[in-house]
C-alpha cells in the first residue's frame, strides 16, 4: 500500500480545521476570496468545504458538464463558470445525483440551477450555491462547449483548480490553501473567544470595555 502523500495530509488537515471555523470570522481577517453574495446557498443546509474542480462552460452544453462530473474526485467542489449566462441551468436532479455519487463536497455555479427541491433533499441533495433558479436548462450538445480544470471567474473571484472552496448560509469563499492556512489559527482563537464575549454582552457589562473602539 502506498503511503499517503505528506502534502495531501496537510491539505486534509487544513480542510478539517476550516470546516469548524465560522466563515464570517474569516471575513474579519481577509479581504480577498469572497464570492458575490448574489451566489447564495440553494442546496442542502449544511457546510460545504472542499477542493475546487473547475469548469468554464462556454455554451449551454450539458455534455461538457457530464465530462466534468465523471472526472470528479471525492471531496471536490464542482465550480462552474457560466460565462455570464444566467438563464440556462447546468445543474439539476440528475447532475446532483451524479455529483453525489462521485463523492463531491458541493457545487458552486455562477449562474442558475433547476430542480431546487431535489437540491435540498436530505437523501439525494448536496450543498449547492448559485444565483437563482430556472426552468431553462443546458442541452445535449457535442461536449466541446466547456474547458475543464482551468482558472474560472465566480462572482468576482478567480478560482483555480486546487483552491479551497468554503460555503454556508452566509456565502462562499474560495482561496488558495496557503492564504487560508495563514489565518486559520487566528480564526480558531477568535471563534473560541466569542462565546465568552457574547455572554458578557448579554450580562449587561459596559460595552466600552468589551468592544474595540480604536
Q: What is the mean pLDDT of each run of 10 residues along the chain (214 residues)?
A: 64 93 96 97 92 97 96 97 97 95 97 93 91 97 93 98 97 97 97 96 95 90
Question: 11-18 long-range CB contacts below 8 Å, 24 or more apart?
Answer: 11/51, 11/177, 14/164, 14/177, 14/180, 14/181, 14/184, 15/49, 15/50, 15/51, 15/75, 15/164, 17/184, 17/188, 18/49, 18/164, 18/166, 18/180, 18/184
- pTM equals 0.92
Residue 6: its pLDDT value, please?
A: 63
Residue 179 makes CB contacts below 8 A (sequence gap 6+) with 30, 32, 33
Residue 4: its pLDDT value, please?
A: 58
Residue 162: its pLDDT value, please?
A: 96
Amino acid at each position: 500500500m502506498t503511503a499517503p502523500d505528506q502534502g495531501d495530509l496537510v491539505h486534509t488537515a487544513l480542510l478539517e480545521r476550516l470546516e469548524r471555523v465560522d466563515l464570517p470570522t474569516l471575513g474579519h481577517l481577509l479581504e480577498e476570496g469572497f464570492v458575490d453574495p448574489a451566489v447564495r446557498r440553494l442546496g442542502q443546509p449544511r457546510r460545504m468545504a472542499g477542493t475546487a474542480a473547475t469548469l468554464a462552460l462556454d455554451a449551454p452544453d450539458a455534455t461538457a458538464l457530464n465530462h466534468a462530473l465523471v472526472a470528479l474526485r471525492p471531496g471536490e467542489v464542482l465550480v462552474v463558470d457560466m460565462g455570464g449566462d444566467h438563464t440556462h441551468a447546468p445543474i439539476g436532479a440528475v447532475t446532483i445525483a451524479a455529483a453525489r455519487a462521485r463523492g463531491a463536497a458541493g457545487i458552486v455555479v455562477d449562474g442558475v440551477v433547476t430542480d431546487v427541491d431535489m437540491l435540498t433533499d436530505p437523501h439525494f441533495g448536496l450543498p449547492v450555491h448559485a444565483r437563482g433558479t430556472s426552468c431553462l436548462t443546458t442541452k445535449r450538445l457535442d461536449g466541446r462547449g466547456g474547458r475543464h480544470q482551468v482558472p474560472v471567474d465566480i462572482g468576482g473571484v478567480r478560482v483555480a483548480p486546487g483552491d479551497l472552496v468554503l460555503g454556508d448560509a452566509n456565502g462562499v469563499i474560495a482561496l488558495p490553501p496557503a492564504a487560508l492556512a495563514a489565518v486559520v489559527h487566528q480564526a480558531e482563537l477568535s471563534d473560541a473567544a466569542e462565546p465568552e464575549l457574547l455572554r458578557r454582552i448579554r450580562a449587561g457589562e459596559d460595552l466600552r470595555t468589551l468592544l474595540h473602539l480604536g
